[in-house]
Amino acid sequence: MITSKYFKEEEFKKCSPPCSLQDMTQDHMNLLDRIRARYGKAMILTSAFRSVAWEKSKGRSGSGDHPNRTGTDIVSKDGTSKMGIIKAAIAEGCNRIGIHKDFIHIGSGKTLPQNVVWLY
Secondary structure (DSSP) of 37-93: HHH-S---EEE----HHHHHHTT--S-STTTTT-EEEEE--SHHHHHHHHHHHHHTT
Asked if the bond preceding 113 is cis, omega within 30° of 0, the reply is no
Is the distance from CB of 96 to CB of 108 less than 8 angstroms? yes
| Distance from the first to the final alpha carbon of the chain | 33
- Write the CATH number of the domain with boundaries 9-119: 3.30.1380.10
Average pLDDT score over the chain: 97
Task: Report the predicted TM-score, pTM, of the whole model to 2 decimal places.
Answer: 0.95
82: Cβ contacts below 8 Å, ≥ 6 apart: 76, 99, 104
Amino acid making up residue 105: H
Q: Residue 21 in contact with residue 8, Cβ under 8 Å?
A: yes
Q: 13-57: per-residue pLDDT in tens?
A: 999 999 999 999 999 999 999 999 999 999 999 999 999 999 999
Listed by start position, the domains of the chain span 9-119
